[in-house]
Structures are given as C-alpha cells and as structure tokens.
Structure 1
Amino acid sequence: MPVEPTIAPTPRPAVAPEQAPNNRQWQVRQPFLLAIVLVCGILVGANPFRPSSQNPDGTSRGYLKFKEILSYVDRDYVDSVDAEALSDYAISRMLEQLDPHTVFIPAREQQQASVLLQSDFDGVGAEVNIFHDTVTVVAPLSGGPAEMAGLLPGDRLLRIGETPVSGKHASLESVLGLLRGPRGSRVPLLVMRRHQRAPITMLVTRNRIANNSLDVSYMLDNQTGFIKISRFASGTFDEFKQALGDLRRQGMTRLVLDLRGNPGGYLDRATKIADEFIGGTRKLVYTDGKGDQYDTQTFARVTGEFEEGPLVVLVDENSASAAEVVAGALQDHDRALLVGRRTFGKGLVQQPITLNDGSELRLTIARYFTPSGRCIQKSYQGGAVAYEQELANRQRRGEYLHADSIHFADSLRYRTAHGRTVYGGGGIMPDFFVPCDTLLQSAYYTKLQKLNLIREFALNFYQDHQTELTGLRFEQFNQQFQVTDQQLKTLAALAAKAGTRASVAEQNRCALLLRTQLKALIARHAYGNTAFYQVMQQQDPELLQAMRSFQNGSALLTQNLTSMK
C-alpha cells in the first residue's frame, strides 16, 4: 500500500519513495517523469571509483582555472555570494555537456534522491495529497505510527512540527522533509478534522515504514496471475519472489507482468527477476564502456520459478532503464510477448560516486545492450532540451496512436533467438502495439487531473459513505456500485467552480473513464490497493490485449519457441 511520504496524484522525482496506484491508463504524466528516470537509471554496484585521466594536464589546467575564478568571485564580487551553490550550479551545467543521465546530486538532496530505491524509510506512515493548497491525509498506513496516533483519511494538516503547511506556499518537498525523521523521534501534527470546529494536536512517533516497489499481485482469473512492479528497488526481488510463489499456490499457469511507468532502478534486481523466467545460462544483458573496465556480461544462473508457461509483459513510453533490460531480455529469448507501446529508451549505466561533502555524482560509464545486440539508449545528440521533449515529439508524430508512425532504420534490425525481427536504436518496441487512450489527452480530463478533483471527489465520497461501504464485501461493491450521472454533474460543478468549464459533449466524452476511475479510487479507500486495480482492469486496453493474446494463442507462440531450445 502507498504510504508517506508519497504525495499523490502525480509521479514525483526521486523524493517520493512510494506512489498511489500509478497506471498510465488513468493518470496524466507530468514532466517529472524525466527526473525520475534520471535518478532511477540503472545503478551498478558501489565499487570504489578510481580517479584517473587520459589528459592529466588538461584536467589540471581546468581545475586551476575554475578554482581561480571562484576565488575571485567569492572575494571581490560586488554582492555576497554562496560559493558552494555556485560550484554546484557550475558542475551541473558542465555535466549537461555529457549525456542526459550523468547527474550531480548536492548533499542536501542526496538523501531524498536515494529514498526511492530503499526498501524502507523512517516516517509517520501516512499517504498524503494536496487539495486546494491543503495537505490532506489520503490514508494512514495500517498499523503505522499515524494510524496509532489516531490520524484519519480526510484529516487536513495545518502544521507539522512548528512549520505551517496550509496555504499556497506549502511545497511537496517541504512536506516530505517534515514528515520524515529519525526512527523514534516525535512530531506534533496540528490537524483539522471534518465536522469539527477546532483543530486538534496529535503527537506521532516516527518509525520504520515499508517502502514496497511491487504495487500489487493478484489472480485475474483462475489461471492468470498479475504482478505490477513500479521500480527496481533494494527489496524488489524478494517482494517479487513472494508474490510469484503466492500466485503459483493459487493455481497460476500464465502471468501478466506490468512494467508500465517503471523508471528503472538497480540492475541486479532486474536481472534476477529476468532469471526467474529464462532457463539455462542464456545471456540477459551486457554493458560496453570505455576500454574494458566496465564491460560486463550477465547470464541466467538459477532455475527460475516460472521458466515455462505463457508470459505477457506490459510496457509503455514511461518504462525505462532496468525495466527495458527485463523486457528486452525476455523478447530477445522469445520468452514473453510484449504488449503496449515503445519504451523510453534509457540505456546508459551510471556509477554512483559519493563525494567528500556527502553529495553524489552519478556518472555514465557504459551503455547496455540486450542479448541480441540492441542498444536501447535513444539519441541525445540534439542536446538536453531536445531529449526532454522527445516523448512529447512522439505524441505530436502520432506515435502513441498509430504503430506505422514509428520508423526504424534497416541498420537497426536484429533477430531474436528464433529469428523474429526486433529493432534497436531507441527503446524496446513491443510485439503488439496498443494505442494510447485518447481520452487521457482530452483537455477537460487533463484539467480535472491537474486540479486533483477526481481524487478529492473520491475521498470525500468515501468519507460520506464509509458506513455503507464497510457493510459491503468488495465483490458486492464491484458488481453493484455505479457512479451516477448526478455524481458526474457534481464533479463538473466543482470543476466549473474551480474555473474549468466543459460542454455537455466534453463531459460525456470522458464519462466512462471518469466513472471507472472514481469507482476504482473509492474501492481503494474502502478495500485496498488490489481493489483499485481490479476495478481499473475493466478499462485497461493493454491488459485486455494481454488476455486476448492468451485466449487466441499469441502468447503461446513464444512459449513454444522457448520449449524448442
């Protein structure tokens, strides 16, 4: 379950260690995705970095020049300056000349940047959101410190410690920082609760909070399992093994692995998961760097728990880095059928180097390649701005809607283990293309998302009907509950009040999507994360295509090819 310090609804950079259900089908992606990919790139083991230079004289002259200029600025510039901040800025600008994924993380930001890939963290244990400039509790973690202190869904946080957080000046980063803290430390929260006139103060003792990277696992039917992995963090493989074992015990004979929106993470966790599906000692990935210092090859090593059986992997334009390694290995060995859209195209390996002041340099040291020889990294020759706009350019070219808008050069053609044609040169192209739902791109829906009104409406509905929902089993809710026309009109009225008006035609166009999303969010509040996905799967085109692939035998093709080896 998502827990503090998540701030929903949109994916944040690496400062957000967990996120609310993050399915591309019903959330508008924000520009922060690229920041997640930058921080969540494939990380190699933390081997000591050995400084050396192919041009020691040039390095020395550059160092002395920079030191001399910074000294003059610090001593003689007309205004006072922060020399450390200036050097951080200069370093960042210098690295922009290399590649988009070599980054410098100042010491003050390094801890936040690392949280995303940790298996747990210290905090109060509450998922929060921001509605109308107010930090609102979406759900306290079951059994966590916030719940033990009495925090309830819908509570509005006015002050955390001595810092006011209500109002337009509250930032996501500041809220995260205030909610985190050492295990055992105590933080007072000033809380305004619904239907109470005066705020109340709660004293919460921070504790260790699980930071799961596997969002959900459950049976789609009596033979099909579903696992969604949001990133490859330190505990991902253990979470995956447990989920896979549980599904096998429930009778799973075929699996859908959802890597949509997965920005990457630790390479070794990703390859260990790929090893669970690929038998023998087949190559999973290899890297190629300067000289041979960072050249590596990774092979399957163990007898996996699901080396046979139909497998479909869901990917999209937000699947990156380690997610692409897994998808590419499974596709190259004809082990899985890939469904969705072309992946992000992040194929550079970063070496994390801790500097003396606690800051960190994540230096690109190699490129990685799929077993067939495909380099997944897309071009970055146009510079940082062009690189950041590449996904938007895909949309403008119609690539999200039409497979024939995607063009690959013949020189980038490769063959899988059994002769199927695949392409390199920028991301992994799936075997079955599924166009993006155009409703996600409608102006009205986009504005509702930006205003956070859909999630706010669902939370308020849950609070108003909590007693009735508690009396229903999820199966009853899923069969009987429907979002009414009147409730959609109420949502539209709230949007109009917030300055977003839409015609009846625009409202009707989004009606089915909104009904499904509202129902799923209400289900999540009442019954948990799995219920959210079980509702949303009814309007998930990639997942529906995966199920058709099982039914018509397409997914069996790769299984038959694998069994011939």
Structure 2
Amino acid sequence: MRKNTRVIIIISGVLLLAFGMLGLKEDNKRFQISKGLDIFATLFRDVNLFYVDDVQPEKMVKDGIDAMLKKLDPYTEFYPESRIDEFKMMTTGEYAGIGSIIGIKGDYVVIREPYRNSPSHKAGLLPGDLILSIDGENMKGKTVEYVSSRLKGQPGKEVVLKVQRVGEDKPMEKRVLREIVQMPSVPYYGMLNDQTGYIYFTSFTDKAADDVRKAIMELKNKGAQSLVLDLRGNGGGLLDQAVEIANFFLPRGSLIVSTKGKMKQWDKEYTTSKNPLLPDMKLAVLIDRASASAAEILSGSLQDYDRAVVLGERSFGKGLVQTTRDLVYNTKLKVTTAKYYIPSGRCIQAVDYAHRNPDGSVGVIPDSLIKPFKTKAGRTVYDGGGITPDIKIEPEKYARVSQELVMQDMVFDFVNEYAAKHPTLPAPSEFELTDELFNEFKEYLKTKKFEYETATQAMLDKLVKTARDEKYYDQISGQIEALRNDLGHSIDRDLDSFKNEISDILADQLMERYYMQEGVLEYHIRKDKHIAKALEVLANDDEYQKILK
C-alpha cells in the first residue's frame, strides 16, 4: 500500500513539474511578446522624434509589418484601411470603379481591356486608350496602383478621363460614372457539343457556388449528359464555396476537407449537407500550375472520391488555410491558421515555409517525404506537391520570338491599329487567321523595327567578352564567328518557323479586342488540346471507367 502511495506521489510530482514547465514556457512567451512590443514602440517613438529628416510614421509602420510578415508565408498579409476595397474585391469579386484592366505603356497607364457592360465599356473606352489625365490631374509617370486608386471611388460619382486613342490626332474626353463592378466567377459556360457542357470557373468568391449552380442547370436543360469543369488559372478563394460546389457532384455527408492548426478552434471538418445536383453525370476537371487553394480542394476531393477524371498539369500546391482577423482602425489581418487535408488524408502543400534554408529561401517538399494515399476506389495518389492529374498534358512552351512580341506589346499595338481601320471581325465561332492577315502583321513589325536578342546570342556575347578578358579570343575567334553564324537568328525566319503559336497569340488578342473575354474563350474552345482530350475521354465510357477504377 505504501509502495503504491509512493508511486502515485512520484507520478503526481512529475505531472506537476511538467505542467509547471509548460506554465513557465507560456509565461516566458507572453513576456517575450510584451518585451518585443515595448521595444518596437520606444524605437518607433525615438526614430520619429530624433531622426535627422522628416519620416512618414504610417509608412514606417506598414513597411515594418510587411517585412515581419514576409518571413512567414506569402499569404499572411496586413490590409491597411487604404486596401480594404482590395480585400473586399478578393472575397466578393466586387469593387467600386470603372471596370477595366489597366497596365503601363511608356510614360502612361493604358486601358488593356474594359469589362463587358462595365462603366468603362458604356463610356466607350477602348483597349489602347492612354490615360493622360484623371479629373484634370496629369497621369504622366504615375504607377498602375496610383491610377487604379484614382479610378476607384464612390459609386454614382463621375470621373473625367482625358485619353489618347490609337488613330486619333487629338486627345478625347470621356466621362465615366463609377459603379459597383462585379467580377464574375464564371465568365463563360456553354455546350461543347450536343452532349457535353463546359464551365470556365475563375475564382471562389462568395457568389461562386450560385454562379456554378446556375451554369449547371442551364447546361442540363440544354441536354448536357457530361460536363467539363475548367479550373485552369483559378487561384482559389473561399473554402466554404469549394465545399458547396463539391456537393453538386458528391452525396450528402461526404467529407470534402478537414483543417488542422495550432489551436483547437481551427480543427474542423467540412462535409456536404445536401443531395447532389449531378450525382452520376460524367465529369472531367481541367487544372494547371495556377490552379490553387480552393481549386485544389475541389479537384482533389473529386479525384479522391473517383468522381471525376482530372486532366492537365500538376496544380500549384497550396494547402494552407487563411483566416481574417479584424484589427483596430479599420485594418485587417489575413493570417495562415491551419493546413487543409482532402478526403484521402493528403495535404497538397508543396512549399515548406516553416523550415527555411539558411539564406531565407524556401524549398519544395522533398520526394523522400512525399507519401502515398488511396482514393475511395483504391487508386494511389500523393501528398506534398499539388494535385497530380489522372491524365497529364504538357504545357505549351512558347518560343523567344513569341514571348518578345507579347512583352514588347507588338501584338497589342497591331491589333488596336487594325481595329481602328476594320470595325468588324468574323465571330469567334467562325474566325480563322488568314495568311494575308499574318503577313500584314509581319509588315507591321518591319515598320516598328522589331528586334530582340535570343538567350543563345546573349550567352555567345558573354563568351566573347570572357574570351577577350582572358586573352583567348584571337585563338578561337574563327570558331566563335562560325558559331555566331550557325546560331544567329533571322526575324523573318523565326516568324515563319513559329507561325502557328504566333497566330494563336494574335487571334487571341483580336478576339479580346472585338469580343472581349467571352470571345477569347469561345474561340479557344475550338483549338484547346486540353478540352479536346477531355471530350475524347468523356465520349469513351470504357476509358473513363478504367481511369477511375
């Protein structure tokens, strides 16, 4: 009896010591936090009081916060009051402004694409319009961020733009009435053929599930017996929307995603709560390297339940969950609070932000730590590197000439000049880029004296410089010049060699100029090899079932 008592006393003592150590550890952590805040406050005060030049207190705090959070991960962000509209747009797809994509061109910001039925579209703004001034303020040399802030503002209030249009001698004034602009989560949906529907889905805003549901019902009414869900380029968004959309295809009570964090309150399971809209319809999901977060939850859960054939490239690999915290003075913190796990139990996070390299960089999860998991039907899938598609399709790799034509805005400028002279273009369902139009583009490039240097040429120039520095050039000059002749490029030859991919880029921008984003998507459907492969799989029931089982 005495011996048992002694054992109990010893165990109790050990437990008390352990709890005491935990308490000390927590007390020490609280002290370190308090100490750090005191140091920061006194340092900030003294710099503002004694620094030789005037400082901007608000900017100093923002820069300090950004630098601190940068050490964590790219998704933990501070939103000052000035960026609350940006935060709202990210979660709702809404903002108050003129509704246009803008970008830098020379000394000014240019209209790249007005959204259909947006204030800028209604006011007659066109791609290529240089924004010279806003409400009388000169915009020369201003950044995209600055111009964007001046275009956004109170809905119902007019903003006056002076723009220089391609083909016009004098600037023109455009009065644009700001409105609440709603970015659609589903910019396009339609029938690929008599039996297959298609939904292009770009973001998981708070209206995403409603938009996808509407598209599904309309396609079903048009006779769709199978469906292609295109998540390429979809960077994610709200987790609950991914769960609701998964429920369109999966039975009530299906686990879609679970989250696990440092605090118990972040350990949650998200399951479907309704009967599915399409419990049996054949489904293909398209993903690429830019499909991330909620897009990976949706595609990964459908793969884990063997409910859809996933095609394309391996996805981005973002398995981190962010939670929004309201801070003082109408500011917000978006902070990573958990990792998410899809139904098979895998976390698809590809980058380890918690364990950085000595130089501060981060690396991908090594293959030795990647583990296998099983889908419902017993297929093997893996964690640690995004969603791997059931059918891999290699991404397009564009030639240097094609990249330079885009980066130097040669295609954009040609299309705007062409549109100024040609008011109409055949519809996306009928348009074909003719040799005549391609040759017209080639002649345009000559007038603009388009030039570029290949990576091979740059390396050769570096070799020549090194050879001269090391006094070897005279000995090998003949070989170098022969190599230069062999590797030298001709723009005419490059344009002809890569005519197909250049024609695709040119056709895309023509569609965007005449028919906006919907036109680009409608045109792409006819040419897209991912969609063609999805149609092939969906049409072959044996292949479809073989992949999933």
Bucket of the pairwise TM-score, normalised by the shorter protein: 0.7 to 0.9
Taking a change above 3 Å as real, the CA distance of residues 227 and 294 of structure 1, as seen in their structure-2 partners, is same
The equivalent position to 1:215 in structure 2, one of 187, 202, 208, is: 187
1:421 aligns with 2:380: yes
State the match for 2:510 in structure 1: 522
Q: Report if the CA contact (8 A) 1:140-1:153 is conserved.
A: yes
Could you state the TM-score of these two structures normalised by the residue count of structure 2? 0.81
State the match for 1:180 in structure 2: 152
State the match for 1:331 in structure 2: 303
State the match for 1:259 in structure 2: 231
Matched residues, number: 486
The residue type equivalent to 2:172 in the other structure is I
Q: CA deviation at 1:555?
A: 6.3
Q: CA deviation at 1:539?
A: 3.8
State the match for 2:532 in structure 1: 544
- Inter-partner Cα distance in structure 2 for 1:526 and 1:273: 33
Q: Report if the CA contact (8 A) 2:428-2:520 is conserved.
A: no
Query: Counterpart of 1:203 in 2: which secondary structure?
Result: strand
- Inter-partner Cα distance in structure 1 for 2:71 and 2:273: 39
State the match for 1:489 in structure 2: 442
The residue type equivalent to 1:386 in the other structure is S
1:533 aligns with 2:515: no
RMSD: 2.8
Deviations 1:51-85, CA, capped at 9 Å, x for gaps: x9983222112211221222222222333322332
Give the share of equivalent positions with the same residue, in percent: 30
- Inter-partner Cα distance in structure 1 for 2:52 and 2:91: 43
Q: CA deviation at 1:192?
A: 2.8
- Inter-partner Cα distance in structure 2 for 1:68 and 1:317: 45
Deviations 1:269-297, CA, capped at 9 Å, x for gaps: 11111111112311000000124211110
Query: Counterpart of 1:382 in 2: which secondary structure?
Result: coil
1:342 aligns with 2:314: yes
- Inter-partner Cα distance in structure 2 for 1:512 and 1:340: 21
Taking a change above 3 Å as real, the CA distance of residues 123 and 99 of structure 1, as seen in their structure-2 partners, is closer
State the match for 1:76 in structure 2: 50
State the match for 1:229 in structure 2: 201
Q: CA deviation at 1:153?
A: 5.0
- Inter-partner Cα distance in structure 2 for 1:173 and 1:136: 13
The equivalent position to 2:137 in structure 1, one of 145, 152, 163, is: 163
Query: Counterpart of 1:81 in 2: which secondary structure?
Result: coil
Q: Report if the CA contact (8 A) 1:308-1:559 is conserved.
A: no
The equivalent position to 1:88 in structure 2, one of 50, 62, 70, is: 62
State the match for 2:468 in structure 1: none
Q: Which structure has more helix as a fraction of its residues?
A: 2
Could you state the TM-score of these two structures normalised by the residue count of structure 1? 0.79
The equivalent position to 1:67 in structure 2, one of 11, 24, 41, is: 41
State the match for 1:42 in structure 2: none
Q: Report if the CA contact (8 A) 1:336-1:555 is conserved.
A: no
The equivalent position to 1:114 in structure 2, one of 70, 88, 99, is: 88
Counterparts of 1:36-51 in structure 2 under 5 Å?
none
Counterparts of 1:293-442 in structure 2 under 5 Å?
293-378=265-350, 379-380=352-353, 381-382=355-356, 386-387=361-362, 408-409=367-368, 412-439=371-398, 442=399
State the match for 1:30 in structure 2: none
Q: Report if the CA contact (8 A) 1:288-1:366 is conserved.
A: yes
Identify unmatched segments of 5+ residues in structure 1.
1-51, 391-405
1:508 aligns with 2:483: no
Deviates more, 1:154-163 or 1:209-218: 154-163
Taking a change above 3 Å as real, the CA distance of residues 113 and 354 of structure 1, as seen in their structure-2 partners, is same
Q: Report if the CA contact (8 A) 1:332-1:371 is conserved.
A: yes
- Inter-partner Cα distance in structure 1 for 2:539 and 2:435: 29
Q: Report if the CA contact (8 A) 1:337-1:558 is conserved.
A: no
State the match for 2:458 in structure 1: none
- Inter-partner Cα distance in structure 1 for 2:448 and 2:540: 43
Q: CA deviation at 1:325?
A: 0.6
1:459 aligns with 2:416: yes
Q: Report if the CA contact (8 A) 2:88-2:95 is conserved.
A: no
Q: CA deviation at 1:548?
A: 2.4
The equivalent position to 1:273 in structure 2, one of 233, 241, 245, is: 245
Deviates more, 1:184-193 or 1:343-352: 184-193
Q: Report if the CA contact (8 A) 1:138-1:459 is conserved.
A: no
Between 1 and 2, higher relative CO (CA 8 Å, sep ≥ 6) is seen in 1
Query: Counterpart of 1:386 in 2: which secondary structure?
Result: coil
Query: Counterpart of 2:545 in 1: which secondary structure?
Result: helix
Deviations 1:97-123, CA, capped at 9 Å, x for gaps: 333422223333332243233233222
State the match for 1:557 in structure 2: 545
